[in-house]
Amino acid sequence: MEPKKRNLILKLYEVNAIKFGTFILKSGLESPVYLDLRVIVSYPEIMKEVANIMWTKAEENTLRYDSVCGVPYTALPIATCISTDHNIPMLIRRKETKDYGTKKMIEGSYKEDDYCLIIEDVVTSGTSVYETAQALNSVGVKVRDAIVLLDREQGGADSLKTQDIHLHSVCTMTEVLTVLEKHNKIDKTMVEKTKEFIYSNRFDQTVKKPTPQANGDHTGKKIIRPTWAESAQKCKLQITARLYNIMHKKKTNLAVSVDVHSCREVKKIIEAVGLHVCIVKTHIDIIEDFVPEFTKELQDLAEKYNFLIFEDRKFADIGNTVQSQYSRGIYKISDWADIVNVHPLPGKGVISGLQQVVKDKGLKRGCLLVAEMSSAGNLITKDYTQASLRLAEADEHKDFVMGFVCQSRLTEDPSMIHMVPGVKLSSGGDNLGQQYTTPEEAVIKRGADIIIVGRGITEADNLKEEAERYQKAGYEAYLKTVS
């Protein structure tokens, strides 16, 4: 190994940018290694060396680009050094759009079809690099290459390759371990433990692609999904197959959210939109004149119009408590709701608790995990979303978990339905942080199987006509994803 690289690894270790021990990652996983390249801002000499070695990597590979862009935030100063040292224009990606002024995702000057080189400090799954590439692509700037200081070898490079982004890494985790062991900074046991952790926590293909797009990714490559009829055959859960069959039969991927406050209003909406939806989503606890008999009326309407009932209860407590919340009290949700959802925050107990109720009562029910939210400033991180995906895919939950409430596609497994809320024909938001996307964008860009529409329909003058408009928009978008 080149002395420059070896010395840099040792220096990063000395300043605690690479640490060994027991660390709880954001995802909840316990890791023997922790990389925190943020500290290098306090060591200008190391910062310079990092920028230089990354720049050399780009030179060696004769990469061609018009600008550089650091993945926010740790790689921003590295990109700045490269930009000023070598006189290369820089672009900045905003992680959150401003709600005033120009609302630009990318700051700086660029021309359509410019090429930008992405600079990143550490790559794990490749998600951050990909998201930066997407933001650049959205303003017409192309991305072919990314330079990373340290590849954790957990699948990021392969994942990015599937998106036609070539990852050039200065060093790998294996090289880091070799150097540190050779210089007696860590012992063989730690090397083995770290390798084992890295190996057993590789992101598979589905996790690696953070937001594959339904009918075309950022390179224009088309992803074709199975039709609803095909998915009904392929999926594992009976409730999921039932849903796909309803969607296929009624030609709709529309779920209506009946967020109104009286039984009469709920029924009025359902009578108007029932033919056009595959799901009616309730918040049963906001109905002021609720009586237990109302749930029977809901079920009768579900049968009359052939839709499933989704109670958006978002259980989020320990297993023992959610069992009671699901099956007891005045609502007795398990008796009438085909689908419920949970915040996976408490861990697998929240799912197992509900699943136990379903098993004991011999019911055919489905559960969605809230893996992402539509509200501005929500605290869900990418790691949380990926941990939710892993929970959903766990063997022990395969008889109950049917997918996600989310904002992007998490897997191509047809057994996992993606329901996207925050959908309106005119995008924008409300004054309490709700953020809307259009049906077309939800299905095509975000990979929604189901679009969830609330006020877009319930506040319309003509409920039926509006539901028809959403049904048509959702269905036409779906057709583009299957051909």
Quick note: the x/- pattern for ligand LLZGTKA7 over 302-341, rule CB under 6 A, is ----------x-----------------------------
Catalytic, 314? Answer: yes
**Rounded CA gap, 355 and 319, in Å?**
10
Contacts with 404 (C-beta within 8 Å, 6 or more apart), sequence order: 368, 369, 370, 371, 372, 388, 389, 392, 410, 416, 417, 418, 419
Quick note: the x/- pattern for ligand LLZGTKA7 over 274-293, rule CB under 6 A, is ---------x----------
Can you tell me which of 155, 421, 439, 474 binds ligand LLZGTKA7, judged by CB under 6 A? 421
Count of residues making up the chain: 483
Which CB, 175 or 259, lies closer to ligand LLZGTKA7? Answer: 259
The nearest distance, CB 270 to ligand LLZGTKA7, in angstroms, is: 15
- Tell me the C-alpha to C-alpha distance, in Å, between residue 109 and each of 20, 74, 83, 89, 91: 41, 22, 14, 8, 7
Which CB, 272 or 405, lies closer to ligand LLZGTKA7? Answer: 405
In the range 258-277, which residues lie near ligand LLZGTKA7 by CB under 6 A?
259
Choices 65-73, 112-120, 154-162, 450-458; region in contact with ligand LLZGTKA7 by CB under 6 A? 450-458
Which CB, 157 or 452, lies closer to ligand LLZGTKA7? Answer: 452
Record the tokens describing residue 113, joined without a space.
Answer: 């079809």
Give residue 227's identity as a one-letter amino acid code. T
Q: Is 374 annotated as a binding residue?
A: yes
Q: Which of 7, 10, 24 is nearest to 347 (CA)?
A: 24
Give residue 107's identity as a one-letter amino acid code. E
Q: Which of 309, 395, 401 is nearest to 350 (CA)?
A: 401
Q: Is 259 annotated as a binding residue?
A: yes
Catalytic, 317? Answer: yes
Work out whether the CA dihedral 338, 343, 348, 349 comes out positive or negative: negative
Q: Contact between 466 and ligand LLZGTKA7 (CB under 6 A)? A: no
Q: Is 93 annotated as a binding residue?
A: no
- 239, 365 in Cβ contact below 8 A? yes
Q: Contact between 438 and ligand LLZGTKA7 (CB under 6 A)? A: no
* DSSP-derived secondary structure for 25-73: -TTS-EEEEEE-GGGGGG-HHHHHHHHHHHHHHHHHTT---SEEEEPTT
The nearest distance, CB 422 to ligand LLZGTKA7, in angstroms, is: 5
Quick note: the x/- pattern for ligand LLZGTKA7 over 115-154, rule CB under 6 A, is ----------------------------------------
Q: Contact between 257 and ligand LLZGTKA7 (CB under 6 A)? A: yes
Q: Is 434 annotated as a binding residue?
A: yes
Contacts with 192 (C-beta within 8 Å, 6 or more apart), sequence order: none
Give the angle 332-334-339 at the CA atoms, nearest 5°: 130
Catalytic, 187? Answer: no
Which CB, 44 or 433, lies closer to ligand LLZGTKA7? Answer: 433
Q: Which of 148, 182, 167, 157 is nearest to 50 (CA)?
A: 148
Which CB, 83 or 408, lies closer to ligand LLZGTKA7? Answer: 408
Residues that bind ligand LLZGTKA7 (CB under 6 A): 257, 259, 283, 312, 373-375, 405, 421-422, 434, 452-456
Q: What is the set of active-site residues? A: 312, 314, 317
Binding site members: 259, 281, 374, 434, 454-455
